[in-house]
Amino acid sequence: MPDLLRIGALVSGNGTNLQAIIDAIEKKELEAEITVVISNKKTAGALERTKKHGLNGIYLDPGNYENNREYEKEIVRLFGKNRVQWVVLAGYLKIITDELLSAYPDRILNIHPSLLPAFTGLHAQEQALKYGVKITGCTVHLVEAGLDSGPVIIQAAVPVLENDTVETLTERISKKEHQIYPQVLKWISTRRLKIDGRRVSILPSSSPSGNEIINPGGIV
């Protein structure tokens, strides 16, 4: 049996996306293991979830490091120690520097609650409501130096309803996030992701059913 895909996660918040990945692994939909979860927030719900599932969770206090680069040097060291192959940003609310990017080129994923390139940065759902768009959604993309600007792997769309609040819209988007993030990891674990500059394609499955969690078209 081939080695399981080894994932390292960076988190700051509630950790519902991390939970979706943990669930997919536990249900054996995803052949992977999360070897370490690092949080920059001591009270992050994501760390609680990590502990609850008996995984390796670490609170790394940014205050103990001179700057973000030094902080990431330690992250890279911990990822190396835990033999991480792919890095998953799961609600990690810190800018990524070249320290991490150069250690994991084209091996860092992020999930963002909008149809990129619309509504980058913080409060994407609020931005969508203020702008008045009728459709928004979420995007999983590879991370590069720019803010929320790396190559898109998959996007899922949701309607914006007349009486939506930030909370109701967030809830609708979250449900899609929890489907597409594990799906992308599944494509990676089965070596189906083909990266060609900014164009990312999903190779056909070698197994008859494909055993997809969702459609492979790159849009949901």
**Residues at the contact surface with ligand GAR, assessed by CB under 6 A:** 13-17, 46, 90-91, 111-113, 124, 138, 148, 174, 177
Shortest Å, Cβ 24 to ligand GAR: 14
Task: Choose between 24 and 190: whose C-beta lies nearer to ligand GAR.
Answer: 24
DSSP 85-113: -EEEEES--S---HHHHHHSTT-EEEEES
Distance from C-alpha of 214 to C-alpha of 201, rounded to nearest angstrom: 15
Shortest Å, Cβ 177 to ligand GAR: 6
> CA triplet 144, 190, 140: central angle to 5 degrees?
35
Tell me if 192 sits within 8 A of 169, measured CB to CB.
no
**Is beta strand 152-159 parallel, antiparallel or unpaired with respect to 135-142?**
antiparallel
Task: Choose between 80 and 159: whose C-beta lies nearer to ligand GAR.
Answer: 159
Task: Choose between 118 and 210: whose C-beta lies nearer to ligand GAR.
Answer: 118
3-state DSSP percent of the chain in helix, strand and coil, to 5: 35, 25, 40
Identified catalytic residue from 53, 112, 123, 178? 112
Residue closest to ligand GAR, measured at CB:
91
Shortest Å, Cβ 109 to ligand GAR: 11
Shortest Å, Cβ 114 to ligand GAR: 8
Task: Choose between 120 and 205: whose C-beta lies nearer to ligand GAR.
Answer: 120
Task: Choose between 124 and 190: whose C-beta lies nearer to ligand GAR.
Answer: 124
Q: Is 112 a catalytic residue?
A: yes
> Taking the CA of residue 17 as centre, how many other CA atoms within 13 Å lie in the half-sphere pointing to its CB?
29
- What are the structure tokens assigned to 22, written together? 């943990």
Shortest Å, Cβ 8 to ligand GAR: 16
Cβ neighbors of 61 (< 8 A, separation 6 or more) are 40, 42
Q: Annotated active-site positions, please?
A: 112
